[in-house]
Chain A
Amino acid sequence: MTDTPANDVAARAEDRSAALVRKRYRAERRFRMYGLAAIMAALGMLTVLLFSIVSSGLPAFTTTQVALNLTFDAGDIDPDGSTDPAKLASGNYRGALLKSLRAEFPGAETRKGRRDAINMISNEVTFVMRDMVLADPSIIGTTQRVWVKSSADIDQLAKGSIDRALPESDRRVNNRQLGWFEKLEREDRVKTTFNTTFFTTADSREPEQAGILGAVVGSALTLLITLLLSFPVGVMSAVYLEEFAPKNRWTDVIEVNINNLAAVPSIVFGLLGLAVFLNFFALPRSAPVVGGMVLALMTLPTIIIASRAALKAVPPSIREAALGMGASRLQTVTHHVLPLAMPGILTGTIIGMAQALGETAPLLMIGMVAFIVDIPQGFTDPATVLPVQVFLWADAPERAFVERTSAAIMVLLTFLIMMNLFAVLLRKKFERRW
């Protein structure tokens, strides 16, 4: 009996502490897992987002064409046999198209059949026929095999987005159209081509004719105004606050004010634009110049804060050396400090511009949501921008517009990624450690 109760207690306590340590290490591993799981959750959701956009947007970059035998009937297009282009331009191309469709699709004679046949192809085909006749009047009276753009519904059918096995009432393409389309497929008269229309036209009610060029041009005009206004003003106020301003109440007010302005919801800037620029100064609605001014006010704090940080990073020895050589304070800044801070300032400006490019809400307030089919020509023309175009298309019920919305988002994201990459490269190339 050498074991004393005290030893016994000690042995048991040791056991318990080992268990406790194991428990604490388990807690440690669990905690670590939570952290990793949080990051994975965020990355997972990002992946789902990008995947869903890309997978629904990719089909929009292709479009379906069908080969039709179009008869350029002289009686419809050119009843009096003249070759005057003005007369030719006003010919009855729809009549000629309907005759061709009747020959092409059995069953297109009835009123309903005719509508089905017309809905097979894009309604721009009559303009294509007109342009062909104007380019070469000798085709009048002949029949030509022409590749024409299909309608958006047929395009969806060809891409497999419309399930052919569904009952007729549940799909947008009826049995008669499906039969015609399958006949065209059998005769190898359907092909898929790159969708150039998407990059060369502005908005349209017809999905197959809708494009983003108008919105891209609108975005470019708006951003140009934003850059021209916010870059000089932002840099100048950063220079003043960082290099010249005395430390007093007034500069404190400006500083607090800039920090708060950076966190004001963007829609409030839209309200400001509506009340001041549109209603007080009576500037035009929907114009890139007003959009650019609103976005300039919005990006100004970003540029000022980034520029100040860049100016602060320039060591005081540079300033002292310049002042010691007899330069004035302004000369010190413009000849030495500003050039050294420029890479940082430009990086901040590009990031601010990227924000402005993705901004939608304030532009809704100043009327840049109009449906605009023309590509804007100047700063006061009605225009829309890429994110607003996304917003407009997202509202459209057609499946073809869902595709185009995602595709427009892909274009928008591409622009943003390029801008940010440029900013990163700029920083990498010119970053200096003092």
Chain B
Amino acid sequence: MNSLILIAVLLVLSAIGYQMGRKRALAGTGGQIKGLHSLPSYYGSYVALWCALPALLVIAFWLALQSGIVDSLLISGLPASVQALSEGQLNLLLSDIRNLAAGDITSKTPDPMVQAAAERYNDLRSTGFAAMVVVGLALGIGGLTIGWRAINPSFRARPRVEKIVHWVLILASAIAVLTTIGIVLSLLFESIRFFNRVPPAEFLFGLNWSPQTALRADQVGATGAFGAIPIFAGTFLITIIAMLVAVPIGLFSAIYMAEYASPRFRAIVKPILEILAGIPTVVYGFFAALTIAPLFRGFGESVGLDVASESALAAGVVMGLMIIPFVSSLSDDVINAVPQSLRDGSFAMGATHSETIKQVIIPAALPGIVGSVLLATSRAIGETMIVVMAAGLAANLTANPFEAVTTVTVQIVTLLVGDQEFDSSKTLAAFALGLVLFVITLCLNVVALTVVRKYREKYD
């Protein structure tokens, strides 16, 4: 909260700078705008930018790095016997120290070493904050002075301000690229650490997945096997079921919407179908677990089939329901983009409407339809909440849709939710799975987007 006040103070300062810059520019010409190079507001903005930008940038970096630096300073100040502890124990100790420093009541009387460390922690933090305030304000006032002194009536304020804004715009558009780089680097970095412990061949081709690593050396049955084939197979099975539901329904709805429906029907039904895409996935997960899974189970029992309560079928069908609009709205656009002349030609040859659709329109629109199906597949593979809530946790290698299977996303969530040390093979495995997920969906997306774009160019 205190850093928010500092930022507010800086913003007020830069507003003052704006007024000062304007005044000084106008004073230089005796209040005449005519004698100025730029409009007075540009002089004000110039001073305001000088005042706010450097200070805010430094504060942002400071806030981002502060807690890490304070922690490492704190650790280096602890006795050597403590520093020799394993990372997990050290983290526990650190959180003890932090809790004590924040004034939380602990049940046991704190160890004097922890007590001292907590005091040191508070000291470090308040020193750090004071230093940040001093540096921030100094930069603000310094920037304001530099900007203010530069101003005279012939100063080219507008081009300067526009140059700065231009760079800010470039920076903003680079954030999207930085995000991708961040994703790739963080996944790669953690995956490489994982592959140092588990060979990639075992991960990619192993048939046994049980990621329970031993916490104690003498623990039974927790050797940790990281063969991801059962997970990939489970993901594949659920995705296939989802596509078996979504592709026919989505495609036929799209054909009906584009070719047969009256504009009135279309105007009403299309937005309702789009609702399916807007419902949060956690709702679908709840629906699958609460309504669909028991339904299938009951139905299976009545015909003598053994359907697991977390069957791949329930999760797959509900996921299919969710991706219907992805298939239908993209295919709808694609079918609409087929030129009317093709339809007219086919009608003139005496074909019925359905024959025209089957023999002319679908072949013409096929690349676009394939693209939309690929995009929907990538959605289905990356979908998390439905499978977390409705699919199983155990990695079964099976093609039976009535059994419980698990997926890549389910495993990522179960491996990473809850408290655990960050460095175990178990948590690193989640990043390796994330990398696989990212690569597969990226390939699907790239292919799909290229196909759709090529197709658009063909008829545009």
Contact = CB atoms under 8 A, between A and B. Distances in A.
Are A and B associated in one complex? Answer: yes
Interface string A387-430: 11011001000000010011001001100100010000000000
A241 interface: yes
Contacts of A39: 252-253, 256-257, 269, 273
Interface stretch (A161-169, A205-213, A274-282): A274-282
A237 B169 contact: yes
Contacts, number: 261
In this complex, the member of B65, B283, B412 whose beta carbon has the largest number of chain A beta carbons within 10 angstroms is B283
A42 B179 contact: no
B183 interface: yes
Contacts of B281: 358, 360-361
B375 A416 contact: no
Interface residues of A, number: 88
A263 B172 CA distance: 20
B190 A275 contact: yes
B253 A271 contact: no
Nearest to B286: A394
Contacts of B402: none
B278 A282 contact: no
Interface stretch (B137-145, B201-209, B437-445): B437-445
A6 interface: no
A390 B286 contact: yes
A236 B172 contact: yes
A261 interface: yes
B173 interface: yes
Consensus secondary structure, chain A interface: helix
A301 B176 contact: yes
- Is the interface on chain B under 10, 10 to 19, 20 to 34, or 35 or more residues? 35 or more
A45 interface: yes
Q: Which 7 A-B pairs have the closest CB atoms?
A: A265-B382, A35-B256, A358-B280, A38-B252, A237-B173, A275-B186, A236-B172
15 contacts: A25-B352, A27-B352, A36-B260, A43-B269, A43-B272, A236-B173, A245-B173, A259-B449, A263-B379, A271-B434, A272-B186, A275-B190, A283-B67, A300-B179, A391-B389
Interface of B: 1, 64-65, 67-68, 71, 158, 162, 165-166, 168-170, 172-177, 179-180, 182-183, 186-187, 189-190, 248-253, 255-257, 259-260, 269, 272-273, 275-276, 278-287, 289-291, 321, 324, 328, 352-355, 357-358, 375, 378-379, 381-385, 388-389, 409, 412-413, 416-417, 422, 430-431, 434, 437-438, 441-442, 445-446, 449
Interface of A: 24-25, 27-28, 30-32, 34-39, 41-43, 45-46, 48-49, 52-53, 56, 232-234, 236-237, 239-241, 244-245, 253-254, 256-261, 263-269, 271-272, 274-276, 279-283, 297, 300-301, 304, 328-330, 354, 357-361, 364-365, 369, 378, 387-388, 390-391, 394, 402, 405-406, 409, 412-413, 416, 420
